[in-house]
Amino acid sequence: MVFPTPDDGAGPNPAEAPIEFTSDTFLMEQALRQARRAFQAGEVPVGAIIVQGSTIIARAHNQVETLRDATAHAEMLALSQAQEALGDWRLTDCDLYVTKEPCPMCAGAIVHCRIRRVIFGVGDPKGGAAGGLLNLLQQPTLNHRSEITPGVLEAESLAILQSFFRAAREAAKEKRSSPTQENPDLS
Ligand SMILES: [Zn+2]
């Protein structure tokens, strides 16, 4: 989140501008915080939160490696948390914020849970199911459709993914160039 800096006093002081706790940008920043936690845990950095009214009822980050579970995407974990919090699988008046466009698995689950609105950061033209590769969130033949808001904090959501994969590539390169140092017992 970019905090405004005080100006020369000529106009209204932007530092006094109220912070909108329910704005898409503010809420996506909360999802980005989750993505940063994934990064620190060595997971592909994707974060998600679910909001009902002005309350965040679920926060999760990708945990595929930690849980050794290919279904442990941020959205799936957040949906489970939200269902538990509400004691209901119907999340009809809830909105899901996720830093990357949902994959087909997550989009399917989002429709099953009847999420009202999906807000995402960076799109995924190769694998996204919210309009990127396909649009499972708005299939006329399914019994629920979610509103979609793409591109909220898109640059930040992309940057964290890029720096993760750059670091992963560099680590892999280092490993290849010094195999005996990595596994001294095998030499
Ligand atoms: Zn997914």
CA of 180 to the centre of ligand 1 (A): 37
Give the pLDDT score at 100: 98
CA of 97 to the centre of ligand 1 (A): 13
Q: Predicted confidence band at 72 (pLDDT cuts at 50, 70, 90)?
A: very high
Q: Which residue has the tokens 């466009």?
A: 101
Q: Are 50 and 96 in contact (CB under 8 A)?
A: yes
**Per-residue CA distances from 71 to 102, 106, 124, 174 (Å):** 12, 9, 18, 30
Q: Predicted confidence band at 14 (pLDDT cuts at 50, 70, 90)?
A: low
Residue 44's φ and ψ, nearest 5 degrees, are -55, 120
| Over residues 41-54, mean pLDDT | 97
What angle in degrees, to the nearest 10, is found between the helix axes of 104-112 and 74-86? 10
Residues of the chain above pLDDT 90, percent: 81
Q: Are 47 and 61 in contact (CB under 8 A)?
A: yes
Strand 94-100 versus strand 117-122 pairing type: parallel
| Over residues 96-120, mean pLDDT | 98
For the whole model, what pTM was predicted? 0.85
**Per-residue CA distances from 10 to 4, 13, 14, 15, 186 (Å):** 15, 8, 11, 13, 70
The whole-chain average pLDDT of the chain stands at: 90
53: pLDDT strictly greater than 60: yes
C-alpha angle 80/81/84, rounded to 5°?
Answer: 85
Q: Predicted confidence band at 179 (pLDDT cuts at 50, 70, 90)?
A: low
Give the pLDDT score at 21: 76
Could you give the 3-state DSSP secondary structure of residue 75?
Answer: helix
Residues of the chain above pLDDT 70, percent: 85
Assess whether 75 carries a catalytic annotation. yes
CA of 71 to the centre of ligand 1 (A): 7
Give the pLDDT score at 15: 63
| Over residues 28-39, mean pLDDT | 98
Q: Which of 29, 43, 75, 101 is catalytic?
A: 75
43: pLDDT strictly greater than 50: yes
Element (H, E) at 173: helix 154-177
